[in-house]
Amino acid sequence: MDVQIEESKRELSRVLELLKDEPRGLSITDISRALKLNRNSVSKYLNMLLISGHVELRSIGVAKVYFLSKRVPISAMLDYSSDAIVVLNRNMEIVVANESFLSLTGSEFRDIIKMKIAGSGIPVVTDPGVYKEIVNSFKSDSSSSEMEWGDGSGEYFYRIKFIPTVFDEGSPGLTVIIEDISQIKKTLLVKERMLEEVHMRVRSNLAVVNSLLNIQSGKLRNPEAVGVLASTQRRIQALALVHENLGLSESGYILKVEDYIRELSADLVEGLGIGKGNIVVKTDAIDVDLYLDEAVYCGFIINELLMNSYMHAFPEGAAGEISVSLGEDDGIYRFSYADNGRGFPPGMNLESPESTGIMIIRRLVEDQLGGIIEIHPGHGVVFEIAFGK
């Protein structure tokens, strides 16, 4: 096999050298005579050079004349890329493959050129998931798509892009770009493990603080002081929950808002002794991509709002509903919180309230997140908060 490959490379080089000296071009017969090769072999080599972009074909009368290409062959351009790239025609045959693709798949160009990928056994492109995306890309009129793919070993990961392509004669094709992201994935995995360890230590330390406050609370006789300590403990628990519901993103941290609200609500119901099911919490929230301190501030804001509703909006045992939504619009996060409870007391000054919770919310939104907050009293209460990403 190696001998045949070397022979093909040598003959291809001879054809190219011959065409360099003949700017007017040569026919298959001319090349066959000059190189003393049979016409079928010359035709095969010229077809390979045509596909790779090294030669051009022109019809002069009834004769087909081959010229050295004046364009940079696409295969030469693709070889500058470290990504593995393969170009398929409408029949899903390989027409161009760069060196990175050949190295990744362990293939030789002469063996796979004009080969249909279906049933070829070529790695990556014949994987069921990848092949399905290739087929769908040919069927769809949409723009390029991409997917992530792992080889199953847990060692190698790739980002694969499928880009609709049009050849010179107008026929459709597809360019498949395979980017090795194994190192990125492994680095992210290490960071995730480190992050989990940090969160575990933070939660452990916060649990210790909460235990100390609990011990201290047991020694107090003043109901007001006990209440203050209980509120502090709930805020510490809310902070611990933030660390339980954080994930890692490329730019910071992902706060899983709906999970956080569900767990925080359950903790508050249990801690405040509210009847389960009396107050329904409805959420429609995206997970937000934030820096760690911003995630903590958001967690605190949600905690203060829920505490305010549970403790003040609904008389003991009353049923009610809380609605929470969070979305993103043109780089701005928009957070809405509403309950259908009894609302604020008449005459309450919302700009400088005596409520510690609302004061904390205002300071977190305006001073820490650089956002704006609007409070709409009435039947129940509505908080509208907006802050930048």
Q: Are residues 243 and 373 in the same domain?
A: yes
Q: Are residues 32 and 20 in the same domain?
A: yes
In contact, 113 and 51? CB cutoff 8 Å: yes
Which among 371, 376, 363 is positioned nearest to 389, based on CA atoms? 371
Q: Tell me the CATH number at 200.
A: 3.30.565.10
Q: Are residues 169 and 251 in the same domain?
A: no
In contact, 311 and 273? CB cutoff 8 Å: no
Q: Tell me the CATH number at 175.
A: 3.30.450.20
For residue 58, give every residue at least 6 positions away whose Cβ sits within 8 Å of its Cβ, in sequence order, or none: 25, 64, 65, 67
Q: Are residues 364 and 297 in the same domain?
A: yes
* Res 53 pLDDT > 90: no
Q: Are residues 298 and 330 in the same domain?
A: yes
Higher pLDDT among residues 150 and 310, named by residue: 310
Place of tokens 């002794």: 273
pLDDT for 71 equals 59
Mean pLDDT, residues 278-292 taken together: 82
pLDDT for 73 equals 54
* Res 101 pLDDT > 70: yes
Could you tell me what percent of the chain has a pLDDT over 70?
86
Q: Are residues 163 and 272 in the same domain?
A: no
Q: In this structure, what token pair is assigned to residue 250?
A: 């490329």
In contact, 284 and 262? CB cutoff 8 Å: no
Q: Are residues 262 and 306 in the same domain?
A: yes
Q: What is the pLDDT of residues 143-186, one digit of tens each?
A: 566 677 776 666 788 889 888 887 766 678 888 999 888 888 78
pLDDT for 337 equals 93
> Minimum mean pLDDT among 108-117, 211-220, 361-370: which range?
211-220
Last residue of a domain, one of 139, 162, 180: 180
**Helix (H) / strand (E) containing 372:** strand 372-378
Distance CA 206, CA 196 (A): 15
pLDDT for 366 equals 92
Total tally of structural domains belonging to the chain = 3
Mean pLDDT, residues 38-66 taken together: 83
Q: Tell me the CATH number at 45.
A: 1.10.10.10
pLDDT for 248 equals 60
> Minimum mean pLDDT among 96-100, 145-149, 323-327: which range?
145-149
Q: Are residues 96 and 231 in the same domain?
A: no
* Res 1 pLDDT > 60: no
> Minimum mean pLDDT among 49-53, 180-184, 236-240, 247-251: which range?
247-251
For residue 74, give every residue at least 6 positions away whose Cβ sits within 8 Å of its Cβ, in sequence order, or none: 52, 53, 87, 96
pLDDT for 370 equals 92
Higher pLDDT among residues 377 and 84, named by residue: 84
Mean pLDDT, residues 227-256 taken together: 74
Q: What is the pLDDT of residues 70-94, one digit of tens each?
A: 655 565 667 678 899 999 998 999 9
Write out the residue range of the structural domain in which residue 274 sits: 184-388
Q: Are residues 26 and 89 in the same domain?
A: no
| DSSP secondary structure of 185-210 | HHHHHHHHHHHHHHHHHHHHHHHHHH
* Confidence tier at 338 by pLDDT (50, 70, 90): very high
Q: Is 304 exposed, middle or buried (0-12, 13-18, 19+ CB in 10 A)?
A: buried
Last residue of a domain, one of 68, 97, 119: 68
* Res 351 pLDDT > 70: no
Mean pLDDT, residues 295-317 taken together: 83
Q: Are residues 322 and 230 in the same domain?
A: yes
Q: Are residues 197 and 161 in the same domain?
A: no
Last residue of a domain, one of 180, 204, 234: 180
Q: Are residues 15 and 155 in the same domain?
A: no
* Res 242 pLDDT > 90: no
Higher pLDDT among residues 120 and 73, named by residue: 120
> Minimum mean pLDDT among 68-72, 247-251, 375-379: which range?
247-251
pLDDT for 365 equals 93
pLDDT for 343 equals 84
